[in-house]
């Protein structure tokens, strides 16, 4: 344990129950939290099958040491969770029906406890966690009770947080920046800065991250990343914390640090529920309560200390010097026979049996809980899911996006570099194409090449980067950092300067190297079309990226561009398109782009072109060229409107897809 963590754990400071509002001032009282050192040092534990746990620490108080609580986080009123006959099924596929994963499981997680959901791989641990946290809503049957009342998901989510197995952090932000951004989302701009900083400092200190506050999150070790994930959620001081495998991938020292920390949090009234694979005996003993699943059914629920007596009571005694956590997993896997699983499920009434809880005073009936916790009148703030308003969410998202943009210099340089290189190459390739009458067709090719460049670079970049954001979006959106509207608005706004800048450099280079007419209004028209095409392509990229993963997206996006190219009027003129395919030209944004470019360069009464390279210039008169390609040349504004409408429609559709995608996973 590092020094900071040690110091944090030793300090004596704890808090009394305080109001549940996030920004309520802390009220302190001096108590100490016993630290159970564990009697299973080497992965083995000697146990007495008859010794029932009575709720007191598993270890003699001689070995206790004091933990430092979070001095800036008010303690919480414990919240009791109970679930009855919970079933969860998934659709396996078209005409294949449904597969049931949780089979009418029951259970009770009393407040202020550290609870482990254990079981072999595929037992349904993560699924149960998802169902209880409200992350999964569809295909769930049964009832979840919070303090004796049927769970109201909206208000329940306000007191909970969900920490996913993968950390999904903002890797380009430092620890402190991550914390400050989270504080701005969760506490809002009106929360006093000094108190915000004090809360951040307190959390970082206790979690042993204070000395790493200026380290980029991406450079932290696995254990530090996990602690940062917890730290970010602690800012809003949740009452219930759900953690999916918080110790997976960590060494035993980091595991102990994380579990010690969770224990501290539980001791202050929070209900901490986490899934865990196969803890060592020492780690296992740290949990207050354990809930064991096998194939979607409950094998045991009760205190960790009561597991051995329970196994003894059902004639499945845990061998001496065997880690009970290992033994129950062996039983759950069916290593000792499949009949034992059913025997245990029956013995526990699939989670209905509450006889093996360490502290019987915590096992209150639903009616008693309802009397203990009267109904609270909903307040105005209670109707909004996020802690702060849309404007604050957008501002904070933009601030975070700007920091990320500045740090991600490789991508920024790459985007600028690609635009300069491609523009220079095309400019030199089509040099003088813009004013030479004999090279009008070459210039037409250049316009199409421009369209390809703008559409492909922006679209593919979005298709490749957006899906990687989805995991972070899912986590932060579920944890109520921001609404989807604010997120989407920030995504739309953040890329405007970069796309515009890249378009501008590209257009300047191509325009002047290829000798396009040196008139400001024609340059502006040319640039406007480039910009709009880039934005439409980006919208399509968003649409694809919102729904498909990177692999499928990189296939779908270019393939979907092919019909757009076909109908652009480039290979086959708009006049020569077969009547039954004419509709295609109206939905092709590349058609409007090409028409817009032609209008900018050859429309608006362009004067007769010079004809020096060859004695005969077929397209010396721009009008003749316009007739040849069956374009009017005076439809610039129609093209601009059409591109704007395309952009708007694709953006709206991308938003709808994104929303549907977020719903689909739940």
Ligand X SMILES: Nc1ncnc2c1ncn2[C@@H]1O[C@H](COP(=O)(O)OP(=O)(O)OP(=O)(O)O)[C@@H](O)[C@H]1O
Q: Exposed, middle or buried, 367 (CB in 10 Å: 0-12/13-18/19+)? A: exposed
CA–CA separation, 659 and 434 (whole Å): 45
Q: Does 122 bind ligand X (CB under 6 A)?
A: yes
C-beta of 128: minimal distance to ligand X in Å?
7
Query: Of 14, 75, 126, 443, which lies in the binding site for ligand X, with binding defined by CB under 6 A?
Result: 126
585, 567 in Cβ contact below 8 A?
Answer: yes
Q: Does 485 bind ligand X (CB under 6 A)?
A: no
Three-class SS of residue 272? strand
- Footprint of ligand X on residues 197-256 (CB under 6 A)? none
What is the residue-wise DSSP string for 84-132?
EEEEEEEEEETTTEEEEEEEEEEEEE-TT-EEEEE-STTSSHHHHHHHH
What six digits make up the tokens of 355? 């006889």
C-beta of 661: minimal distance to ligand X in Å?
15
Q: Does 124 bind ligand X (CB under 6 A)?
A: yes
Q: How far is CA 32 from CA 29, 264, 355, 538, in A?
A: 10, 10, 29, 56
Query: Of 119, 305, 553, 603, which lies in the binding site for ligand X, with binding defined by CB under 6 A?
Result: 119
C-beta of 350: minimal distance to ligand X in Å?
16
In this chain, which stretch among 122-130, 317-325, 535-543, 590-598 interacts with ligand X, using CB under 6 A? 122-130
Query: Of 101, 173, 250, 344, which lies in the binding site for ligand X, with binding defined by CB under 6 A?
Result: 101
Query: Which positions ≥6 away from 545 have C-beta within 8 Å?
Result: 462, 463, 464, 465, 466, 467, 553
Q: Does 123 bind ligand X (CB under 6 A)?
A: yes
Per-residue three-class SS string for 548-591: CCHHHHHHHHHHHHHHHHHCCCCCCCCCCCCHHHHHHHHHCHHH
Closer residue to ligand X, CB minimum distance, 126 or 479: 126
C-beta of 89: minimal distance to ligand X in Å?
9
What six digits make up the tokens of 77? 């009123």
Residue 545 phi, psi dihedral angles, 5° rounding:
-65, -30
How many binding residues for ligand X (CB under 6 A)?
13
Q: Does 14 bind ligand X (CB under 6 A)?
A: no
In this chain, which stretch among 116-124, 141-149, 235-243, 483-491 interacts with ligand X, using CB under 6 A? 116-124
HSE, CB side, 13 Å, CA atoms: give it for residue 345.
19
In this chain, which stretch among 40-48, 120-128, 178-186, 486-494 interacts with ligand X, using CB under 6 A? 120-128
Q: Does 127 bind ligand X (CB under 6 A)?
A: yes
Residue 532 phi, psi dihedral angles, 5° rounding:
-65, -40
C-beta of 344: minimal distance to ligand X in Å?
17
Q: How far is CA 549 from CA 184, 235, 544, in A?
A: 30, 32, 8
Q: How far is CA 389 from CA 25, 98, 381, 631, in A?
A: 22, 40, 10, 49
In this chain, which stretch among 61-69, 119-127, 329-337, 377-385 interacts with ligand X, using CB under 6 A? 119-127
Query: Of 50, 62, 97, 121, which lies in the binding site for ligand X, with binding defined by CB under 6 A?
Result: 121
Q: Does 99 bind ligand X (CB under 6 A)?
A: yes
Q: What binding mask, one character per residue, do residues 269-308 give for ligand X by CB under 6 A, x or -?
A: --------x-------------------------------
Helix-helix angle 496-513:440-478, to 10 degrees: 170
Closer residue to ligand X, CB minimum distance, 22 or 341: 341
Closer residue to ligand X, CB minimum distance, 127 or 458: 127
Count of all residues that appear for the chain in the document: 666
CA–CA separation, 5 and 139 (whole Å): 42
C-beta of 449: minimal distance to ligand X in Å?
45
CA–CA separation, 421 and 33 (whole Å): 64
Q: Does 125 bind ligand X (CB under 6 A)?
A: yes
CA 523 to chain centre: 42
In this chain, which stretch among 57-65, 73-81, 118-126, 137-145 interacts with ligand X, using CB under 6 A? 118-126
In this chain, which stretch among 40-48, 115-123, 214-222, 324-332 interacts with ligand X, using CB under 6 A? 115-123
Closer residue to ligand X, CB minimum distance, 22 or 118: 118
In this chain, which stretch among 117-125, 363-371, 515-523, 564-572 interacts with ligand X, using CB under 6 A? 117-125
591, 568 in Cβ contact below 8 A?
Answer: yes
In this chain, which stretch among 125-133, 169-177, 186-194, 259-267 interacts with ligand X, using CB under 6 A? 125-133
Please give the residue ranges that form the binding site for ligand X (CB under 6 A). 90, 92, 99, 101, 119, 121-127, 277
């Amino acid at each position: 344990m590092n020094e900071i963590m040690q110091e944090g754990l030793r300090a004596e400071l704890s808090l009394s129950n305080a109001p549940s509002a996030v920004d309520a001032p802390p009220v302190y009282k001096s108590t100490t939290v016993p630290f159970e050192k564990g009697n299973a040092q080497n992965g083995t534990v000697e146990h007495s099958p008859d010794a029932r746990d009575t709720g007191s620490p598993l270890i003699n108080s001689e070995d206790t040491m004091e933990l430092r609580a979070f001095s800036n986080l008010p303690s919480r009123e414990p919240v009791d969770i109970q679930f009855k006959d919970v079933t969860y099924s998934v659709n396996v596929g078209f005409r294949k029906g449904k597969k049931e994963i949780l089979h009418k499981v029951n259970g009770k997680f009393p407040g202020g406890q550290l609870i482990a959901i254990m079981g072999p791989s595929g037992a349904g641990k993560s699924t149960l966690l998802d169902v209880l946290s409200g992350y999964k809503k569809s295909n769930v049957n049964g009832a979840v009770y919070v303090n004796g009342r049927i769970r109201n998901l909206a208000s329940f989510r306000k007191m909970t947080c969900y920490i996913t197995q993968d950390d999904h952090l903002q890797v380009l932000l430092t620890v402190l920046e991550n914390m400050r951004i989270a504080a701005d989302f969760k506490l809002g701009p009106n929360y006093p800065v000094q108190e915000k900083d004090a809360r951040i400092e307190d959390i970082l200190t206790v979690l042993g991250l204070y000395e790493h506050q200026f380290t980029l999150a991406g450079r932290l070790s696995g254990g530090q990343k996990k602690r940062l994930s917890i730290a970010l959620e602690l800012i809003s001081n949740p009452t219930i914390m759900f953690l999916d495998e918080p110790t997976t991938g960590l060494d035993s020292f980091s595991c102990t640090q994380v579990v010690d920390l969770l224990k501290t949090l539980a001791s202050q009234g929070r209900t901490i529920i986490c899934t865990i694979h196969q803890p060592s005996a020492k780690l296992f003993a740290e949990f207050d309560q354990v809930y064991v699943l096998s194939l979607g059914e409950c094998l045991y629920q009760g205190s960790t200390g009561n597991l051995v007596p329970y196994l003894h009571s059902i004639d499945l005694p845990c061998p001496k010097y065997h880690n009970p956590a290992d033994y129950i997993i062996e039983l759950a896997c069916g290593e000792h026979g499949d009949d034992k699983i059913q025997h245990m499920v029956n013995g526990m009434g699939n989670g209905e049996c509450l006889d093996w809880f360490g502290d019987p005073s915590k096992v209150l009936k639903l009616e008693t809980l309802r009397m203990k916790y009267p109904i609270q009148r909903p307040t105005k703030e209670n109707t909004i899911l996020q802690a702060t308003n849309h404007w604050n969410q957008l501002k904070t998202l933009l601030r975070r996006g700007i920091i990320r943009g500045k740090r991600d210099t490789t991508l920024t340089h790459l985007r600028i570099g690609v635009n300069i290189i491609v523009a220079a190459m095309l400019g030199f390739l089509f040099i003088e194409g813009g004013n030479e009458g004999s090279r009008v067709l070459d210039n037409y090719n250049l316009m199409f090449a421009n369209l390809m460049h703008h559409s492909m670079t922006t679209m593919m970049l979005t298709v490749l980067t957006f899906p990687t954001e989805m995991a972070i979006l899912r986590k932060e959106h579920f944890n109520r950092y921001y609404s989807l509207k604010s997120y989407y608005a920030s995504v739309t706004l953040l890329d405007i300067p970069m796309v515009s800048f890249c378009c501008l450099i590209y257009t300047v280079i191509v325009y002047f190297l290829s000798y396009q007419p040196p008139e400001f209004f024609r340059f502006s028209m040319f640039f406007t079309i480039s910009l709009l095409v880039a934005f439409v392509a980006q919208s399509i990229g968003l649409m694809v990226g919102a729904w498909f993963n990177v692999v499928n997206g990189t296939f779908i996006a270019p393939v979907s561009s092919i019909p757009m190219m076909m109908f652009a009027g480039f290979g086959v003129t708009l006049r020569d398109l077969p009547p039954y395919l004419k509709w295609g030209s109206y939905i092709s944004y590349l058609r409007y782009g090409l028409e817009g470019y032609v209008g900018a360069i050859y429309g608006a009464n362009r004067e007769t072109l010079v004809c020096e390279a060859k004695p005969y210039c077929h397209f010396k008169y721009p009008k003749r060229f316009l007739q040849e390609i069956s374009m009017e040349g005076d439809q610039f504004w129609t093209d601009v409107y059409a591109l704007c409408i395309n952009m708007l429609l694709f953006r709206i559709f991308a938003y709808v897809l994104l929303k549907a995608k977020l719903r689909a996973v739940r």
